[in-house]
């Protein structure tokens, strides 16, 4: 049985609809749809340890995952050990080989994410005084060179389009004769939103320029108070245009599989996190735990299984064990997730507590937990702590904070979250670290908009 694993960057669950993404919605609707799937972090750096390794990011110092001496195997390593051909296709630096996500991959198409220019820049850092004038001059020069190369290549977007990744993965699949695992991570719905003009025209009278979309995305993330209602509306329309473009490309990927291959392929579609468009006065995917950021789509197609709508709460950390379960392979006992396939009685092992955290250094004031009953405790560092009941406060109005009123819920979720953080601290003391190159990480954070 083959596996096609699609993890879209920054795709909100509420945009996988018949109006905006009809083909993707149709895929999810006709298979196993998990309506309450949540990311275990508010961005790529914190989601991908779960997506490719079923491990909480909070348990690893630094970013990414440890190297090959790690005691916890990745999804690709586990499948590779079972004889699968494995390949990854990504243009997100935080989901690339720079952060050890090529572990277990026979092939890794991440040249855009780990370009020779970036590697040379990294090498220069190691050889020059980073406080010296020469290094600073070269650093400024690289910024100009990067922009120049973008124009020389004629690229009209910051990230590789889904069209290119689909071409790459379909070509790779065509050459496989035995079981294979292909992971593809499209970046199109990540800001800045730069859909082709024909898709923008479906939502706007005239397409906007690359420069304008980049400027708008930067302001939405770093200076959201500067945006007018008209600006937010434009940002929303640009995002929808990207969703529709991606929808067509995903359909092209689905239909590229011959029926004989499709009948032997498990297909998973999900996202690493969502996106905000003015809710709570925020844009992009801030390092907070609002529903718009952590609620993601999830659909799983398994040959021989009927379509189901599953409303039990699950986390991205549960996806890798579910993939292995679907192809009849036992998942490693030291993984953090569990299989969410319905048993013979149709019962799913719901995740009672969904944990979210952020930062390379564990911060007890910057983490959260979402209970299956829709109570949610969020610690947003300097912004403070909120206990919300989403059954009665679906919009997550901070004025509905129940920290002082719902004493039992507050104590229970506080205890559970602190116990989880205790375990993460213990792991950090006893296990191999991830990537800790501060300069490299800062570059990648800036490129993806986390830093200005």
| CATH code where residue 298 lies | 3.40.720.10
CA distance linking residue 426 with residue 56, whole number of Å: 13
CA distance linking residue 294 with residue 11, whole number of Å: 10
Q: How confident is the model at residue 153 (pLDDT cuts 50, 70, 90)?
A: very low
Residue 227 domain-assigned (yes or no): yes
Co-location of 36 and 176 in the same domain: yes
Co-location of 105 and 119 in the same domain: no
Residues comprising the chain, all counted? 452
Confidence at residue 129, expressed as pLDDT on a 0 to 100 scale: 56
pLDDT tens digits, 59-100:
998 899 999 889 999 999 999 999 999 999 999 999 999 999
Co-location of 246 and 139 in the same domain: no
Co-location of 169 and 130 in the same domain: no
Confidence at residue 361, expressed as pLDDT on a 0 to 100 scale: 77
pLDDT tens digits, 177-216:
999 999 999 999 999 999 999 999 999 999 999 999 999 9
pLDDT tens digits, 235-263:
999 999 999 999 999 999 999 999 999 99
Co-location of 222 and 92 in the same domain: yes
Q: How confident is the model at residue 146 (pLDDT cuts 50, 70, 90)?
A: very low
Confidence at residue 143, expressed as pLDDT on a 0 to 100 scale: 39
3-state secondary structure 390-440: CCCCCCCCHHHCCCCCCHHHHHHHHHHHHHHHHHHHHHHHHCCCCECCHHH
Confidence at residue 112, expressed as pLDDT on a 0 to 100 scale: 67
Co-location of 185 and 309 in the same domain: yes
Task: Say which residue the tokens 């898709």 belong to.
Answer: 199
Residue 373 domain-assigned (yes or no): no
Residue 431 domain-assigned (yes or no): no
Q: Which of 317, 351, 385 is the last residue of a domain?
A: 351
Retrieve residue 121's tokens: 């820049």
Angle between helix 22-29 and 229-256 (nearest 10): 60
The answer to whether the beta carbons of residues 233 and 8 sit under 8 Å apart is no
* 385-389 and 375-380 strand pairing: antiparallel
Retrieve residue 436's tokens: 């800790």
Pick the residue with more confidence: 110 or 152? Answer: 110
| Average pLDDT, rounded, for the chain | 90
Co-location of 165 and 127 in the same domain: no
Co-location of 97 and 145 in the same domain: no
pTM of the complete model:
0.91
The answer to whether the beta carbons of residues 183 and 87 sit under 8 Å apart is yes
- Structural domains in the chain (count): 2
Q: How confident is the model at residue 137 (pLDDT cuts 50, 70, 90)?
A: low
pLDDT at position 127 over 80: no
268-307: string of b/e by CB count within 10 Å (b at 16+)? Answer: bbbbbbbbbbbebebbbbbbbbbbbbbbbbbbbbbeeeee
Non-local CB neighbours of 141 within 8 Å, separated by 6+ positions: none
Co-location of 174 and 278 in the same domain: yes
pLDDT at position 171 over 70: yes
Which residues constitute the domain of residue 124?
113-155
Residue 366 domain-assigned (yes or no): no
Co-location of 98 and 34 in the same domain: yes
Co-location of 173 and 103 in the same domain: yes
Residue 316 domain-assigned (yes or no): yes
pLDDT tens digits, 388-447:
999 999 999 999 999 999 999 999 999 999 999 999 999 998 877 888 777 788 888 888
Confidence at residue 267, expressed as pLDDT on a 0 to 100 scale: 98
Confidence at residue 48, expressed as pLDDT on a 0 to 100 scale: 97
* 32-34 and 298-301 strand pairing: antiparallel
pLDDT at position 131 over 70: no
Least confident among 289-303, 315-329, 360-374 = 360-374
Residue 429 domain-assigned (yes or no): no
CA proximity to 265, closest of 250, 254, 280 = 254
Confidence at residue 439, expressed as pLDDT on a 0 to 100 scale: 75
Residue 449 domain-assigned (yes or no): no
Co-location of 306 and 254 in the same domain: yes
Virtual torsion, Cα 417, 421, 423, 425, nearest 10 deg = -170
């Amino acid at each position: 049985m083959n596996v096609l694993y699609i993890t879209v960057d920054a795709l909100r669950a509420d945009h996988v609809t018949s109006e905006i993404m009809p083909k993707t919605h149709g895929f999810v609707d006709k298979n196993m749809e998990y309506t309450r799937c949540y990311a275990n972090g508010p961005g790529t750096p914190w989601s991908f340890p779960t997506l490719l390794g079923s491990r909480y990011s909070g348990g690893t110092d630094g970013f990414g995952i440890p190297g090959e001496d790690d005691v916890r195997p990745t999804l690709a390593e586990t499948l590779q050990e079972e004889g699968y051909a494995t390949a990854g296709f990504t243009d997100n630096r935080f989901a690339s080989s720079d952060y050890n996500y090529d572990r277990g991959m026979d092939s890794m198409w991440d040249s855009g994410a780990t370009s020779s220019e970036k590697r040379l820049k990294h090498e220069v850092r190691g050889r020059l005084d980073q406080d010296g004038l020469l290094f600073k001059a070269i650093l400024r020069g690289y910024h100009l060179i990067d922009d120049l190369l973008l124009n020389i290549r004629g690229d009209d977007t910051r990230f590789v389009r889904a069209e290119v990744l689909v071409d790459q993965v379909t070509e790779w699949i065509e050459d496989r004769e035995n079981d294979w695992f292909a992971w593809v991570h499209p970046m199109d719905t990540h800001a800045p939103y730069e859909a082709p003009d024909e898709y923008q025209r479906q939502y706007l009278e005239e397409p906007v320029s690359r420069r304008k979309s980049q400027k708008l995305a930067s302001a939405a993330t770093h200076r959201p108070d500067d945006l007018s209602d008209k600006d937010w509306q434009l940002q929303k329309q640009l995002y929808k245009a990207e969703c529709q473009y991606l929808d067509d490309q995903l359909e092209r990927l689905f239909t590229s599989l011959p029926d004989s291959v499709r009948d032997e392929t498990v297909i998973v579609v999900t996202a690493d996190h969502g996106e905000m468009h003015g809710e709570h006065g925020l844009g992009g995917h801030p390092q907070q735990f609002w529903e718009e950021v952590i609620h993601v789509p999830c659909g799983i197609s398994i040959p021989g299984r009927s379509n189901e709508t599953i409303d039990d709460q699950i986390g991205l950390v549960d996806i890798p064990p579910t993939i292995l379960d679907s192809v009849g392979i036992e998942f490693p006992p030291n993984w953090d997730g569990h299989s969410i396939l319905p048993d013979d009685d149709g019962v799913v092992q719901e995740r009672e507590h969904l944990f979210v955290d952020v930062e390379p250094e564990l911060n007890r004031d910057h983490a959260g937990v979402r209970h299956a009953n829709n109570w949610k405790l969020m610690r947003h560092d300097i912004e403070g702590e909120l206990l919300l009941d989403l059954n009665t406060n679906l919009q997550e109005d901070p004025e509905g904070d129940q920290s002082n009123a719902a004493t039992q819920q507050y104590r229970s979720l506080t205890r559970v979250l602190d116990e989880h953080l205790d375990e993460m601290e213990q792991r950090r003391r006893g296990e191999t670290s991830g990537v800790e190159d501060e300069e490299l990480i800062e570059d990648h954070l800036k490129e993806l908009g986390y830093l200005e």
